[in-house]
Structure 1
Amino acid sequence: MSEMENKSRSPREVGRRAVVKGAAWSMPVIAAASAMPLATASAPACPTCIKAGFPLVGGVVSGAWTSVALVAGNKGTIAFPSIFGLDATACGISWTNIFQPAFTYVVTQVTLRMSDGKTYNSTVGLAAGAGNVSTVGAMPGAFVFNNVSLPNGGSVAGVPPYPVVPTTLTVTVTTTLQYGLGLSIQCPTTLVWNLHGLAAGLVLLGTGSVNFTGTATV
């Protein structure tokens, strides 16, 4: 463009071209700034401090369990008391813990494994519960397993002991934790207890009674 043509342009036209050029330069900056909240608003990772545990019962850590099964047609029901808990003592308040102290959870599945390898799911105890960091809270209910296969065997005196006993209890919960200003995150957690016990009783021709006793460890 010649010097004569530059001089012939009005101040208004020159100013308009400068504004358009400046707006085009600023568009990438605005786009980058608008994308920043999306990156900083990503949800945190689920904590690993929530584990299986035992609540205090009468000031004593529980863990002992017992269940009597009446057997008919080689099937019986095994029920566990509310001795199992959700342990959040490792989630103490610190600068590394961004979650609020109170949380809620829902028990979604409870599975019992017997020493013969068979597994059973409980339809009882699938309920909502509440917990707090630095504490151990009891599960919202007992667990009941129906139609457990209990073969013939055992003796009236308990020697030899009944051959099939519970071995593990697995509870799956979905925990909802709060953080920030009204934000929350849902975390699936699997809790496992090892069941150590003996069984005394007799099942003969598919009918009888078996008394299960033992302790649980995590």
Structure 2
Amino acid sequence: MIVQAQQQLLETTLIAQSNRTRRIQFDRGATSKTVKDSVVRGTRDIYLVGASAQQTMKISLSSLENNAVFDLVTPQGTVIKKEVTSVNLVLPLNGDYKIIVGGTRGNATYQLYVEINNAVKTETLKTKNFKITINSNCQEGEVTCDHVSYEGINANTGESLQLIGKTLHTTCADGITPCRFIGYEFLNGKYRYMVTEDGSLLVYQGEKLLLEEQGTWQD
């Protein structure tokens, strides 16, 4: 038993020593980076990415045999995504985030894509019970945007909710082209949040309207 325990300890030590930690640096003027590599079974590739609160981070991981996943860890050490292959979220803190890549079976050859964007447009809506900050993370001139963040703070409890969503538009006469902007849509599990152009907050569960509050856009 002692020999077996010592062997297990040695194997664990060797695996830990085989983990690799590297920093992802974006090229000048770039907002994204792609890394191609492979990870040995039982080890982890750890990538450090410096970012700021309220920036959006998009990560996608693909592998030749669909056998690679990653964890995303905040600068404070909290795991906010575990064993996933993609994520798109608003970052809560400043500092170095860890993307920890590992294989689910055998060795894994993978491609890791990381993108970080700043908010191009920020709007604030105040209703009776909520303060809502919306950041649009698409370039000016784009008609539609699928990278919109929502932060809603409950004025009574101080609780915060962060979501990722998109813009909403009417459809032009051809039935395809987006026309007039009408607001934003955000999904939170089985709930759908809508913030309209005229300042209404609507929360649905399926087709059932759970909450409606009229607010005012702040300058």
- Alignment TM-score, normalising by the size of structure 2: 0.26
Max radius of gyration: which structure? 1
Between Structure 1 and Structure 2, the one with more helix by share is 1
Between Structure 1 and Structure 2, the one with more strand by share is 2
Greater RCO, 1 or 2 (C-alpha within 8 Å, sep 6+): 1
